Structure 1
Amino acid sequence: MLHYAIVCLVIALIAAVFGFGGIAASAVGIAKILFYVFVIMAVITFVLSLLKKG
């Protein structure tokens, strides 16, 4: 999922360079959402692994 967030960020940067503001804004929005979902899932997995070992 982090891979998809990075891909969306790269697409946003390329779109911004070529002047496609709307596409760049949507790609950045998607990248932000995917990044936050990735962080939340990583934290949940970390906590669950600590609980399973303890």
Structure 2
Amino acid sequence: MGAVMVTFLLLVLVSVILGIIGAAADGLGCLLAVGVVLFIADVAFVAVAGTRRVRRRPVR
């Protein structure tokens, strides 16, 4: 679960940076859209990864 959390935080950081650049720079609204889409995809990725927990068999 640690690698998933690192990936999640990295993608959130990238999406926020793209969103800020897209909102601040004139004519770069497409970067804002990419940042929003990336953030939504990242949240969906973590939701799916959180529901797919590996069940371990008890030791006999």
Common fold by TM > 0.5: yes
1:37 counterpart residue number: 41
Runs ≥4 residues deviating over 4 A = none
Which AA in structure 2 matches 1:37? A
- The alpha-carbon deviation at position 5 of structure 1 amounts to 0.4
Give ranges in structure 1 of 5+ residues lacking alignment.
none
Query: d(CA) in 2 for partners of 1:30 and 1:13?
Result: 11
- Please identify which structure carries the higher helix content: 1
Q: What is the aligned residue count? A: 46
Query: d(CA) in 2 for partners of 1:14 and 1:53?
Result: 46
Give ranges in structure 2 of 5+ residues lacking alignment.
1-10
Percent pairwise identity: 13
Say what the alpha-carbon RMSD is for the aligned residues: 1.6
- Specify the structure having the higher radius of gyration (Cα): 2
